[in-house]
Structure 1
Amino acid sequence: MNRVKRIRPGSVARWLWLGAVVLVVVLPVYVTVVTALLPRSDVAAGRLLPVPGRLTLDNVRFALDAAPLARQYLVSVAVTVGQAGAQLVTAALAAYALVFPRWRGRGIVFGLVLATLAFPGESLVIPNFELVTGLGLRDTLLGVVIPYLAAGYAVFLLRQAFLALPRETWEAARLDGCGDLRALLHVVLPMARPQLVTAAMWCALSAWNGYFWPLLITDSPQRRTIQVGLAQLVVDQATSPAVIYAGTLLVLLPTLLLVLFGQRFLVRGLASRVTT
């Protein structure tokens, strides 16, 4: 006689809760994608939940013609690659110096790195604006990137990852004649690959979603990022929600692809043991 597995009320409540969370996360993405691809006449019908029917790319093409989104897209990609790459390099070097070499005062230095996380970004806007303007980099790509060449959270994340690595492996590499840079590139970073990918995703998403600083430091639309261009598109196309959704889809697509393709590393990086 087959035994019927008893369903516990706690399991049912847990699945219902997870289903509600998934619905809250997925529903806005669904509405954005479907509305962006529907004809404007169907969107004007004002349905609460859009139903996929005849899909078209006309809204996307109109959004690209209504604002220089294609150019701003390239600017955002360049900003994301430059800013995230610089933050990863500085974070890896700083985390290595804070973990493996023995030197006096590294605990104090790490405390100062953590202290930078307590300062809101808005409090640094004026000093950064004066610095970038004084260097003659206003309304340039470098002016957007230069205040964010390092990030305290990325240093913290990689330091915790390096602390969880066996120190004996690093010591063996040093005894074999590896210098600090070679030990970092060929020994430490390969062992901390999941956390490195997690830090890279965090840096890339932060750079891609930046809005206030690119808006402040740039003047011409061609040198602004896609986030700023989307805000201007919302103002210009206030009476055409389908076009606004199409612009939102263009901004949302890279983040979705980044999370989907990096999900395996992201879960491994966040689930790894944190050592203090």
Structure 2
Amino acid sequence: MHVRRTLPQRARTLIGAWCFVDHYGPTDATATGGMDVAPHPHTGLQTVSWLFDGEIEHEDTLGTRALIRPGEMNLMTGGYGIAHSEISAPDTTIVHGVQLWVALPEEHRNADRDFQHYVPKAVRVDGAEIRVFLGSLAQSASPVRTFTPLLGAEITLEPHTTVTLSVDPTFEHGLLVDTGGLRLFDTELRPAELGYVPCGTDALTLVNDSDASARTILLGGPPFEEEIVMWWNFIGRSHEDIVRARADWEASSDRFGVVEGYPGRRLPAPALPNAVIMPRGNPPRR
């Protein structure tokens, strides 16, 4: 699949506690075989899966087996350790969506494994259709539990539409464009581009001047002040945290459990770099 690693990047590591945004597809699953991600581990984070097209079968070491469908959110808490697999459903022809990670704060980074599924209702504001899967926006709120305040929403703007949305001024925000193009305030954003807005803004204005709809993902949260060490599928606070998690995975320890239904081998961990893995931080605030 064609995957764009939108976050982290050289200019920015986190937006709130959002620490990872993979934007993938659209991919013709009938030609490529679609998605087949063997069982793999996670620590210190929550994963958020959101699709635009297709269906993906999720299975984890809690025993959860669930479909991910467009307009429905799956949130998995890794905490101390979890493993899962993701496979395109047999009748899926197009695979297209985002995979998002949320860094857990120190006091919760060893939280128990968990899985939540939520189907947000669409609300309309001035020619925009909004689905809020985490946090609150446009008088719509998600009941899904997170460990830091967050905002996550899909916003689709009709052609020749302007919408202004009230937001929490203590949040920083990122707007990822999936399809179409628009302006975030005076900044033009094209597909696969991510626009960033620092704290201190209490409203976001999105303008679609084109003849086509524009679909976006809006993420937000208060700045995450802790430094994180992120490598492969693990988030810790030190190089030693990563080394320990990798060793536990390679030893098939009980820390991650077993994904029972996957018809194949699990993913091996890559070799560690020949260097100390350093914390990632954002640029200093201006």
Q: TM-score of the superposition, structure 2-length normalised?
A: 0.24
Higher helix fraction (1 or 2): 1
TM-score by length of 1: 0.25
Structure showing greater Rg: 1
